Amino acid sequence: MTPLIGRAELVAGLQQLLRTGPSRFVLLAGPPGIGTSALAAHLARRRDGPVVEVAAAAWESHRPYALLAQAFPDLAVADPLDAAAEVVARLEPGALLVIDDAHFADVESLRTLASARRHHAAPHVLATADTAERRATAEVLELLPRIATDVPRLPPLDAAQISELAAAYGVALHPAMAERLRRHTGGRPRPAVQLLTELPRATWSRFEPPLPAPAATDARVRESLAACTPAARRFAEAAAVLGPDTPVRDVLALADLDVEPLPLLDETAAAGLVRLAPRGLTHLGPPDPMVRAAVLTGLGPARRAGLQRRAAELVDDPVRALRLLVAASPVPDPELAGRLDDLAVERAAEGAWGTAATLLSDASRLTDDPRRRQARLTRAVDALIGAGDMFRAAALVPEVESGRETPLRDAVLGYLAVVRGRAAEAGTRLRRAWDIVNAEREPETAALICQRYVLDALARYDGRDLVRWADRAIELAGADTPPAVEAAAIRGLGLAATGRAKQARRDYEQLTTRLRHGAQAQRATMARGWLNLLTDRLDDARVDLESAIPTSYLGGSARISLWASAWLARTQFLTGEWDDALRTLRDATDLQDRTGILLTGPLLRWTATAVHALRGDFGAAEELLLADAGDYPIMRVPNQLARAHLAEARADSAGVLRALYPLTRPVPGAGTDEPGHWPWPDMYAHALVLLGRLDEAGDFLTPHEKLAAKRDHLSARARLAAARGRLHGALGDVDAATASFEDALELLAALPARYDQARVNFGYGQTLRRLGRRARADVVLTAARDGFAAMGAKTYVERCDRELKAGGVHSTRPDATPTTLTPQEEAVTRLVARGMSNKEVAAELFLSGKTVQYHLTRVYAKLGVRSRTELVARRRADPGYCADR
C-alpha cells in the first residue's frame, strides 16, 4: 500500500471530524491516483470503533442497492426511506461506513444514505470518488457533493514529498529528479509509485532520463487509441509529438488532416488523449506527460522519428525544434550537433544556463569526435553549475572525469568544487587548469579559468586576488562576453574588500546601465546590493537584493539568488525586520536544498541563528550551528559570527571570545578586518571589557577605529565607539564614556540600523547605571527595551528589564526591613538562581566579580542562608520563581 506522505494534517483533521458529533458524510474526491483510497483505508485501519467497508463497481451501478447489499446481503426493500431505517438499525453505534469508488455507486444506495442522515442517527460515512470519471452517471456525480457534509481536498505531492515517497521504496532521488517525477505524474502518489517500482534503479541517477508512462497508463492509452477512428488516432499522435499548448492548425498539418477539427477534438478529448489549453479552442496538447509518453511509445521508433522531424519544421521555438530533431536522431549527427552547440552559445550569452546545458548535452551525444564530445559534455556541466543545478551536474561528472585531462575539464571541476565549498580541491583544480592552458591558442578557455578564479577569490574573500583575476578575464575574453561580464559583476566586491568602495560604486553604476535585462543583470544587481549593504546604504541594498532574488530572469541563476537572499536577510536583520528575514531565509534554504549549492549555506544560517538567539529560542539557534562550516572564509566567518551571537545572547563573554578568536589571526588578504564587511571587532571588544581585560580591549580597538575612520564607515565607527564607551565606563571615566556612546548614537541616527541602535543604547544604559547615573540610564535603557521589543528580541528585553529594576528609578520600593533586598541584590539573586556563575553574573550585569560576591554575601545575611546552594533552593521554592526565568 502506498505510504501516506504529506497527509498528516489532513488525517488528524478527518479523525477529529469522524470521532464525535452528528453524522458526517465525508467525500474524498480527486483525480485518479491522488490517494483518496489509500487515505480512506488508513483511516479505517486506525478507527477505534466498528468499520464497514464496501466498494462500488461500474458494472453494478445499474442495480438498485447493489452497494449496500455488500454489507447487508439480505436487504430487500424498494424504498430508500425504509432502507435507511433498516441500515441504521443494523449498524453498530459509532460505526464508520467506508465507500470506495463512490462514483460507481447505484443511485438508490446513495439516496438511502442521504435519508439516513436526514431522518435517523446515522453513522459516519467516508467515501472516495473520482468526479472526472467518464463512466459514472450524471445523477451520481451530481448527488455525491449534494449529500456530502465535507469535501476535503487532497493536494498533489510536492517535490520534497515525492522524494520522501521514493525513499519509502528504497529509491534515493536528488531534488532535481524528484521535481521531474512530480511534473511527470502531476504529484499523484499512485503513478509515482508505479514508476518507482517498474523502472530500473539506475534510471533515477542518470542525467535527464526519459520517463515513460506506468504500465497501467500505457495499457489504457493503447486501448483508447485502438478504439479511435483512424483520423482521431493520427490527431492524438500528432498532438503527443508536438507537446502541450500547440496550435490546432499545427496538429492538423502534422497529422496530414484537411478536415474540420472539432469532431476530432470531441473524440480524442472523450478518449482522454488530448486536452484543450486554457486559452481556448485554438491550442491543445496531451492531458499530462504520462499520456504523452504512452502515445509516443506506441508510435514505434521509425514512425515517431518521422513525425518528430516534420514537427521540427512547424514549431517556431528554435530550442524546441532542435530537441525534436535530437529525439529523432538514433546515430551521431555532426551537423545537428553543431547547430545545438551554436544555439547553446547564444543561450549562455543571455545567461540561460539551464537551456544551454541541455543543448550541449544533446550535442555531445550526437558528436562522433571523442575530444569534441568530451568538450561539449564538460561545457554542459559548466552550464549546469552556472544555473545552480548541482545535482544534474553531478550526474554528468563521472563521465567528464573519465575523459582525458584538459584545461576546460579542470576549470569546470574546480568550479564545481568552489560551489560545493571545497577550497582545497578547487585550488588544486584551478591551478592545474591555469598551468596547462595556452592562453594564446585558447583565450576563451583561459578567460573561463580566470572567471572561475574570481569566484574562488570571492569565497576566500581575497579582494586583491579577485580584482587581479577579474581583470585577466576581461582582458582575455573581451568586455562584452559572458565570462567578462560575470567577472565585472563580482569585481566591485573585490574593490570594496580592499577599501575602494567608491570606485566599486562607480563601476556598478556603469555596468548596471549596460545590463538592463537578463541573468547577467541579475548578477550585477545582486553585487551592487551587496556593496550597498557593506557601505550602510540599507534601503538601496534592500531594493537591489529583492530584485535579484527571483530567477524569472531568462535563465536566472539559483546561485545568485542565494547570494541575494543571504544578504537581503542580513539587511532585514539590521533594520529590525526579523520576521521578513526569517521568511527570506526559509525560502532560500528550500532553494539551497533543491540545488545542492553549499557555499552560501553558512551565510543563511548566520542571520537565522542571530534572530533565534536574540528571541530566546536557543535550541533553534544551536541546531543551525555547523561543526564544520567549510573550507572557505566566506563559510567559516559567518559560522563563527553565529556562534558569537549565540554566546552574546547568553551573556557568555568567554564564549564570544572563543568564537571570534580565529578572526584575530586573519589569513592574509581575507578582508575580515575591512569595516562593514564582517561586524565582529566590536563584539570582541565588548567581551574583553566585560571579562575585565581592559588593557587588551584598548589595544585591540585602536587599529580598528583608525581603519573605520579612514574608510569613513558610519556603522563600523558607531559600533566601535560603543565598545570604546563601555571601556571608558569600566575605567570609571564618565565623561569619556558618555561622549563615546553619544557619538555612536549620532552616527547611527542617519541609518535605519534599528538593531545596532538598540544594542548601543543597551550598552550605554548598562554603563551609565554602573557609573551611578541612574536617571539617565533609565531613559537610555527604556529606549533600548522599546527597540528590542519591536524586533521581538526577548533575550534583551528581559535583560533591559533587569537593568531597569536594578537601577530602581521607577520601582516602588516597599518599606525597608532587615530582609529586603536592594534592586541590585535582587538582580544578582535571580541570575544565581538560574544557575549562572559569579563570572557570568558579572558579565550580564556589567559588574566586577568582587561586586557580585559582595552582593551575594549581603543576600546570604539578609535571607539567613549559608551557601549558594541554599540560596538557589530557597529562590526556586518561591512561587514567583517561574516568572523570574
Per CATH, 8-147 and 665-807 having the same topology is answered no
Cβ burial, residue 64 (10 Å; 0-12/13-18/19+) = middle
Give the span between the Cα atoms of 599 and 417, in whole angstroms: 10
Architecture of domain 823-884: Orthogonal Bundle (1.10)
pLDDT tens column, 302-354: 999 999 999 999 999 999 999 999 999 999 999 999 999 999 998 887 778 88
In the predicted model, is pLDDT for residue 883 greater than 50? no
Superfamily name with CATH number, domain 665-807: Tetratricopeptide repeat domain (1.25.40.10)
Q: CA 391 to CA 472: how far, in whole Å? A: 30
Q: Is pLDDT of 77 > 90?
A: no
Sheet architecture: strand order including 275-276: 246-247, 283-285, 275-276
396 and 207 Cβ atoms separated by less than 8 Å = yes
For 397-456, give the secondary structure using H, E and C. Answer: HHHHHCCCCCHHHHHHHHHHHHHCCCHHHHHHHHHHHHHHCCCCCCHHHHHHHHHHHHHH
Q: What is the mean pLDDT of residues 694-713?
A: 96
What is the DSSP code (8-state) at residue 661?
Answer: G
Q: What is the pLDDT, as a whole number, of residue 669?
A: 64
pLDDT of residue 553: 44
Residues 6+ apart with CB under 8 A from 800: 762, 765, 781, 782, 784, 785, 788
Closest of 564, 265, 315 to residue 274, by C-alpha: 265
CB 105 within 8 A of CB 25: no
Find, among 750, 752, 680, 690, the residue nearest to 719 by Cα: 680
- For 133-169, what is each residue's pLDDT tens digit? 778 888 999 999 999 999 998 899 999 999 999 999 9
- Per residue in 632-661, pLDDT tens? 999 999 999 999 999 999 999 999 999 999
- Percent of the chain residues past pLDDT 70, beyond the cut: 95
366-375 pLDDT per residue, tens: 999 999 999 9
Percent of the chain with pLDDT strictly greater than 90:
68
Give pLDDT, residue 884: 42
b/e sequence 304-336, b meaning 16+ C-beta within 10 Å: bbebbebbbebbeeebebbbbbbbbbeeebeeb
Q: How confident is the model at residue 256 (pLDDT cuts 50, 70, 90)?
A: very high
Whole-number pLDDT of residue 846: 64
Superfamily of domain 8-147: P-loop containing nucleotide triphosphate hydrolases (3.40.50.300)
What element of type H or E holds 301?
helix 301-314
More confident residue, 860 or 184: 184
* Predicted confidence (pLDDT) at residue 813 exceeds the cutoff of 60: no
**Structure-block grid coordinates of residue 795:** 533575550
pLDDT at 580: 95
Domain coordinates in residue numbering, the chain:
8-147, 159-205, 215-320, 331-393, 405-501, 665-807, 823-884
In whole angstroms, give the CA distance from residue 472 to residue 746: 43
List helix spans (H) across 91-171. Answer: 107-119, 138-147, 159-168
Q: What Cα–Cα distance (Å) separates residue 413 from each residue in 291, 351, 402, 469? A: 39, 20, 12, 18
Going by C-alpha positions, the residue among 325, 327, 345 that lies closest to residue 335 is 325
Q: Is the pLDDT of residue 749 over 50?
A: yes
**Rounded-to-integer distance, Cα 247 and Cα 253, Å:** 10
